[in-house]
Amino acid sequence: MLPVSCVFFDAAGTLIRLREPVGEAYARIAARHGIEVDPQSVETAFLQAWKTTPPLLHPDGEPPADDDASWWRTLVARTFATVTGAPLPDERLDPLFAELYAHFAQPGVWELYEDALPALDQLRDSHRLFVLSNFDRRLTPILEDLGIASRFERILLSSEVGASKPHPRIFHHALAAAGVPASECLHLGDDRKCDLEGAKQAGMNSQLVDRPGTTLLTLVAELDGNTKAHRGQ
């Protein structure tokens, strides 16, 4: 690996995670709308919907006006259609979706991985740090609530670019934001296709976060050692 000056972090699954499983949150909130579902069944249906809902991609230069909320609504609709055996009518789906969408932006819903803050501390004086995430504008206040938003030079979001990882456009957008060659950039994330392969296809260095074996601290230590080797230390 050539000397790296900029490090890009994925967010969910890399820096942050939910305090409560998706299935439990969905089931608990659905119950308030008169929809009784099994949390584990919801979890399974959500993961299946996540895998089968086409990734976000909008015309170049035309990011979505709704910050990709409609994509999340489709995901919620597919999840509950699977669990309940039939699509929810709009008059039931719309208020349920509105509460779910708001819930996942609230303080206390997300938490940092234990290795996230130490890894950022280790890099803050030696590298420029960015977030590059398949998320929407809810992410910035989430990271602010967790006390790490200010650690990053930019928080780059798929909903603002109009393309999701692994599409090349979002990585090219990241490189333009950094203003350095791809060879000087490293992307760290937990998804092999979106993060590892997507970054490599854009010419960036990339490493897979695969806890518990490969943590952010593991990768940061490797990066630090590589940097010192190139400096002849």
- Pair (94, 168) in one structural domain: no
Residue 74 confidence (pLDDT): 96
- Pair (131, 182) in one structural domain: yes
- Pair (181, 209) in one structural domain: yes
Choosing from 50, 79, 103, the residue where a domain stops is: 103
Choosing from 79, 103, 127, the residue where a domain stops is: 103
- Pair (46, 57) in one structural domain: yes
- Pair (55, 24) in one structural domain: yes
- Pair (134, 198) in one structural domain: yes
Under the banding of pLDDT at 50, 70 and 90, the label for residue 225 is: low
Choosing from 61, 85, 103, the residue where a domain stops is: 103
Answer yes or no: is 1 within a domain: no
- Pair (92, 172) in one structural domain: no
Answer yes or no: is 169 within a domain: yes
Q: Buried b / exposed e across 39-59, counting CB within 10 Å, b at 16+? A: bebbbebbeebeeeeeebebe
- Pair (121, 215) in one structural domain: yes
- Pair (139, 211) in one structural domain: yes
- Pair (126, 222) in one structural domain: yes
As for how many domains the chain has, the answer is 2
> How would you class 212 by CB atoms within 10 Å of its CB: exposed for 0-12, middle for 13-18, buried for 19 or more?
exposed
The arithmetic mean of pLDDT across residues 15-20, rounded, is: 98
The pLDDT mean for the chain works out to 94
Q: Rg (Cα) of the chain, in Å, rounded? A: 19
Higher-confidence position of 222 and 183: 183
Dihedral angle sign, alpha carbons of residues 69, 74, 75, 77: positive
User: How far is residue 180 from each of residues 3, 4, 21, 173, 186, measured CA to CA in Å?
Assistant: 12, 10, 38, 12, 11
- Pair (10, 32) in one structural domain: no
Range of the domain at 48: 20-103
The tokens describing 97, both together, are 């979706």
CATH of the domain at 96: 1.10.150.720
Residue appearing with tokens 């979106």: 194
In terms of pTM, does the model score above 0.85?
Answer: yes
The arithmetic mean of pLDDT across residues 87-111, rounded, is: 97
Dihedral angle sign, alpha carbons of residues 32, 37, 43, 45: negative
Asked if the model's pLDDT at residue 114 lies above 80, the reply is yes
State how far the Cα of 214 lies from the Cα of 97, in Å rounded to an integer.
35
Under the banding of pLDDT at 50, 70 and 90, the label for residue 180 is: very high
Answer yes or no: is 72 within a domain: yes
Answer yes or no: is 136 within a domain: yes
pLDDT in tens, 154-171: 999 999 999 999 999 999
Answer yes or no: is 166 within a domain: yes
CATH of the domain at 135: 3.40.50.1000
The tokens describing 166, both together, are 């692994």
> How would you class 80 by CB atoms within 10 Å of its CB: exposed for 0-12, middle for 13-18, buried for 19 or more?
buried
User: How far is residue 66 from each of residues 94, 162, 166, 221, measured CA to CA in Å?
Assistant: 15, 11, 21, 40
- Pair (136, 183) in one structural domain: yes
